[in-house]
Structures are given as C-alpha cells and as structure tokens.
Structure 1
C-alpha cells in the first residue's frame, strides 16, 4: 500500500511537470486521470493517524473535486494512530467516514486502562490487539487503521508554513521545552512538537494534550493548499502504515467537496493503578453511548482556544 501511494504521488508530479501537455489534454483526461486533490488526499489520509478526520476533506475542498464514479459506499470506521519512536501510541482517534464524505471523530485518551495495562502499549504488541480493544470499549467495528509517527508533524508543520493555534494561558514545561504565551500564535518544527508533546503543567494533563492535538490538526488542515500539498504528501508518505487490503485510493474518492467535521474526546473516569503506571478508567456502556451520539451527528465539537 505504501508503495502504491508513493507511485501515485510520483506519477502526479511527472504529469504536473509537463504543463503544456496537461493543459492541452485537460478536458479529455479529466475523466480518466486521478485529480491532484485525490492523490494528496490519499497521502494525507494515511499519514494523519490522529488527523485524517480533519485534513482529508479540507485538502480536497481546496484542490480538485474527486472524479465522478459509482455511488458512495457505506460508512467506514477508521482507527487513526499516532505513535512515538518506540511504537507506543501517543494519539488515538476513532473516525467514522460517512458515505457522503462527512466525518465524525472521537479521540481516545491513550491512558485508558486495558486489563493490567493501558491502551498506549497495544499497537506496539500487535495492531490487532489495539483494534480489538477499541471495538470492545466502543462497540464499533474498526474497518481499517492508519498509523504514523508523531515526530513527523514537526516537519509537516514547516512544509505548510506553520500551524495556527490559540492558548487560554501561557505555559512552561522544561521536560518538552514548551514555552508559549497566551493567545493566538503560529508554530512549526520543534515548537510544534513541543506543543503536541506537553502535558506537564496542564490542568488536566494528558486530556488537555488530546485537545491540543485536535486544535493543531484543525489548524494544519486550514494551511493545506495546492502550493504545499504535493510536498506534504511526499513527506508524510515516508512513514505511514495501513492495514493490508485497504484500497486507500478508492476510499478517498468519497470526498467530493465541503463536509461537516465533528471532533470530541471520549469521557473517562477516575485514575486507576496499572502495571505501567496510573491509567484512566472508562465505562464501556458510557463509551458506546457517547460514540453513538457523536457518530449520529448529535455530539459537540471542539472550537476556540485550548489549555
């Protein structure tokens, strides 16, 4: 799958290099060639382990519409995973991509208790264990997963000229090097990574960090354009992993224009002790109801500044 994505990106780059040929044959080729927006959407989808729910529709909206084709397929549930350098899970999003291209996404805190441990260790052990546990917790079938290293977002933020975020208050964290004033600001490179990694000094710790991830990804989506999308696609395609058998190119064709995107965080209970440190409790019945409401279009979505 990774090779297919890279080949598609390379082919698109070659076509764009011969501007005369592209312009002369645009009308005839429009129905047969894959549009630039589709190629970028595919690459962005697969890299956006914690972000695809936001980035893909926005990318396509800002470039070309997907080609006409068969009626949209039914909804698909995709588990989007952001990992650290040791394959521990840093960010986890369960996203439902509707047949009409709409997207609803629920962030799952990585410290949710699973048996004697936490969710964040399961992908490293076996991706199937992680998807099975998410299914058990939410009662939602996971159709596919996509994973990427969170460290890639430093370079990604540079390629788009920085990402706009907003903080309620100034923060300091010597551990990650985070030092940010209150208010709106543009972050890239190491500053962007520090923003994504900080949880010390935040009132709700990792839960506030989850909200930062959501805010960052919304800001990233707003920065994607035709001028930077190809370079972005090439960069993110280096480390993305998806499950075998997922036709990502076909999947991306459902995105044909502006869609509503909803984001929320799964509610958790009191802290609990696990073999890998303090975790968070989560009630499966409450989780199921919350996800059903969010995927049904009744839930809330994050807006404004974050901690």
Structure 2
C-alpha cells in the first residue's frame, strides 16, 4: 500500500486508489475518520436510509375490516333472530285458481281483531270488547304494490260487496262451493287468511305474493315500543265504541290511542271509507318512523320495536325479514310522498255494502300488473 503524500502534495489523490478510500472533505491528513454506523442510502437519493416508515394505513385497514366483520355478524344474527320469530302460518300454495303473476310484488296487509293473549284488563283498556276466545275478523285490509313505478297502497273497505268463490278449506283440504255475495271481511271469518287471499284475488284478478297480519296486542305493543307515533290530525273526533278522543293538531299517540284511531268508524258519516283513510295515514306514518335512521341504527330502539311487532305477526311461509323490511320501506315511501295511497274505487252500495267500480278496478289492476304509474282515482 502506498503511503499518503505529505506537505504540498497532501491533497494529491492517487488515481489507482479506490474511490471509497478517499478522505472525507474537511478531514485532517493523517487523522483517521470515524465511519458512520448508518449504511449508505440506496433509495430515493436522500443522504441516509433508516429503514421503512411505519405503515399507519395497514393498522387503519385492519380496524375497518374488524368493524365490518362485527357488523356483518350482528346483521346476520339479527336476520336469523327475526326470521325465527316470524309466525309463518299461511300457506299460499294451497290457494286454488290463482291469477297469473304480474310485475312487481303485491302484499296483502291485514289488521285483525284478534284478542289472543289479552287479559280482561287489556281488553277493557284497549276498548276491544269480546273475549280472548272470540272469533277473529279483519278490521283493515290493504294491498301494497311495490314496483318500478313506485309503491301504491290500496285500502279494501271491510264492508266491500264481493263474491266469495269456491275454495279449498284450510283445515280439511276439501274444495268448498262458492258462497256468493258477502262482505269482504266475512271471507276471513269463514276460513281465515287463505280464503281471504282467494277472495281478494278472485275479485281483483291481482296475484297476491305475500301476506302479513297483525292483531290488536301486537299493534299496540309495537307503537308503545317506539315511544308512540306522532300524528298531525286535520280534525278532532270522538267515538265511545273505540275509545277515541282526539283534538286537531300534532300529537303523539300511544298504543291504546293508536288502536282507537285506526278502529274508529262511528265518528264519520262515510264510516268505512273514512276509517280506511285513517288506517293508511297511520300505518304509513308508523312505517316512516320505524324505518328512520334513529330507530334502525340504534339497537336499543330497533330490537324492542322488532320484538314487539314480530311476536304477533302472522305471515306466509315464503316471507322473510328482507321482504318484510322491503314492505316497511315501501310504506315509508308512501308516507313521504314517493308513492300513492287510495281506496279501492267505489261506485255505490248494495244492501248497505260498498260496491266496487268495476271498470276502474280493472284499469287499476292492469296498471299494477304492468308496473305502470297508477292514474286511477278513488273519488266517487
């Protein structure tokens, strides 16, 4: 190895000496320099490299994935819990001579006067009368059509004059002869949900895809679980039969008051038609509040409301929580003005029963079957 030059040749660099052996600038000749512990940088051109920077994005990603997994598990658990509570007691496959399916989905929504499970004190406070074993009737019936043209909610007055056609008995399985002209709610009283579906389909020509029924107790409990339903009434009314006693204006109805509101008929001149309007208004408002983010995203609100409603909800065997949720959100849309609500068109009465306007009913059903915007009105 050649010795380093001294004196005037101290700055001389031997061309054959390796480049890495050159002295660092500003170093003194003959004094060894301290080699840095940091290795040379081989990255983006900076003077030193200290290893890879911490990956904060990876930690955030893991947290988000964990939250997503938890939400999926909770959602799946809620779905199966709700599905297990549904009373899937109505077998629509046993309904005979059914019309062809059309576009969209048709729900038959029924409010029955079932007093099952109610104590004498409850029957008195809710003004339901009768006994726990009293035969069931339908206090309200509605067809909810959900399709591309938006939802349409159609009330079927219980005093509608309809033909009860031949049908298959829900218990016996035997075919029964037609009963001729009757009130619509008589179909349910004779043989329950399956005959009601059969009668609605026969008199409208509209295929019913799903059935949902709630009794007095479930209805009142669901309203109470929500903390009441806020209504804005155009006018006040009283009815000693239902227990209704309302003033005009905005107010929150509890379960007993809500039941009185939807059952009242004696306070109105056109009893059944006015009552169906109130039922539509209340149910769509209830659905609007039940489907609000404050309820859906709050488990302390959601589970009590769902539990109160599902415990007494009777549905068809093909119903599931997804379809039920779809039904509720469609009713919410009706309330918010994105859908249409109406009574079945009526042209007059026969023996005290309401006679449907057949030409209008046919036009209405054709529009629903083809998923077209409904232009038919129910004004007499």
Given the two structures, how large is their TM-score scaled by the length of structure 1? 0.69
Whether 1:230 and 2:289 are equivalent positions in the alignment is no
Aligned to 1:117: 182
SS of aligned partner of 1:269: strand
CA shift at 1:165, angstroms?
Answer: 1.8
Whether 1:240 and 2:305 are equivalent positions in the alignment is no
The more displaced of 147-156 and 230-239 is 147-156
**Unmatched segments (≥5 aa) in structure 2:** 1-62, 89-102, 115-134, 163-179
Alpha carbons 2:86, 2:313 under 8 Å: kept: no
SS of aligned partner of 1:242: strand
1:88 to 137, 142, 145: 137
CA distance in 1, matches of 2:231, 2:377: 16
1:251 to 323, 326, 348: 323
CA distance in 2, matches of 1:242, 1:230: 19
SS of aligned partner of 2:207: coil
Whether 1:267 and 2:345 are equivalent positions in the alignment is yes
Whether 1:146 and 2:212 are equivalent positions in the alignment is yes
Whether 1:280 and 2:354 are equivalent positions in the alignment is yes
SS of aligned partner of 2:245: strand
Alpha carbons 2:141, 2:156 under 8 Å: kept: yes
1:219 to 252, 263, 285: 285
CA distance in 2, matches of 1:298, 1:35: 37
Q: Deviations over 1:40-64 (max 9, x none)?
A: 99799989xxxxxxxxxxxxxxxxx
Aligned to 1:14: none
Aligned to 1:69: none
Structure scoring higher RCO (CA < 8 A, sep ≥ 6) equals 1
CA shift at 1:111, angstroms?
Answer: 0.8
2:373 to 260, 277, 297: 297
Superposed CA RMSD in Å reads 3.6
Alpha carbons 1:166, 1:184 under 8 Å: kept: yes
CA shift at 1:190, angstroms?
Answer: 1.6
Given the two structures, how large is their TM-score scaled by the length of structure 2? 0.57
**Unmatched segments (≥5 aa) in structure 1:** 1-21, 48-73, 303-307
Whether 1:187 and 2:253 are equivalent positions in the alignment is yes
SS of aligned partner of 2:356: coil
Aligned to 1:106: 154
Call closer, same or farther: CA 1:39–1:233 in 2, change over 3 Å.
farther
Call closer, same or farther: CA 1:254–1:162 in 2, change over 3 Å.
closer
SS of aligned partner of 1:270: strand
CA shift at 1:94, angstroms?
Answer: 1.0
CA shift at 1:232, angstroms?
Answer: 1.2
Alpha carbons 1:95, 1:103 under 8 Å: kept: yes
Call closer, same or farther: CA 1:201–1:149 in 2, change over 3 Å.
same
Call closer, same or farther: CA 1:153–1:33 in 2, change over 3 Å.
closer
CA distance in 2, matches of 1:282, 1:301: 12
CA shift at 1:290, angstroms?
Answer: 2.5
Alpha carbons 2:149, 2:373 under 8 Å: kept: no
CA distance in 2, matches of 1:197, 1:76: 27
Alpha carbons 1:137, 1:287 under 8 Å: kept: no
